[in-house]
Amino acid sequence: MTEQPEGGARLIGRLYRTARWRNLRTAQLTREPLCRLCDYAGDVVAATVCDHVTPHRGDEALFWAGPFQSLCADCHSRHKQREEHGRPTLTFAADGWPIT
C-alpha cells in the first residue's frame, strides 16, 4: 500500500466500524436483501455489501449521504475495481465487511 492522505481511505475504514454504519447497512440489506447486479443478470444472490451508488472517494459527507444499493461481495469487487480504478479501495470479504 502507498501512503494515503488523512481523511481518505483510512478515515473511511474507520467509518465502516461505527455503529451508525452497521445500522445503516442492516437497514439497506433488510430493504433490499438481494444483490442488485445479480438480479439484473437474472440471478438470485443474497447481498452482503451495502454499496455506495455514488462513489464517496473518501469523502465523509458522501459516505453517509448515500444512496446505497445491496450487492454480493463478488459484484462489489468488480464494480469498485471499475469505478475507482487506480484509487485506493477497501477490499470486502465474503461476509460483506471490509478487510482492513
Q: How far apart are CB 36 and Zn ion at their closest, in Å?
A: 8
Give Cβ neighbours of residue 42 (< 8 Å, ≥ 6 apart). Answer: none
Q: Which is nearer to Zn ion, 9 or 38 (CB)?
A: 38
Q: Which residues make Cβ contacts (< 8 Å) with residue 6, sequence separation at least 6?
A: none
At its nearest, how many Å lie between Zn ion and the CB of residue 46?
Answer: 9
**Under the rule (CB under 5 A), what is the footprint of Zn ion?**
35, 37-38, 45, 72, 75
Query: Which residue lies nearer to Zn ion by CB, 43 or 60?
Result: 43
> Which residue number, 58 or 70, has a Cβ lying nearer to Zn ion?
70
Nearest-CA neighbor of 71 among 94, 99, 100?
Answer: 94
DSSP for residue 34: B
Nearest approach in angstroms of CB 78 to Zn ion is 9
The separation between CA 43 and the C-alpha centre of its own chain, rounded to angstroms, equals 20
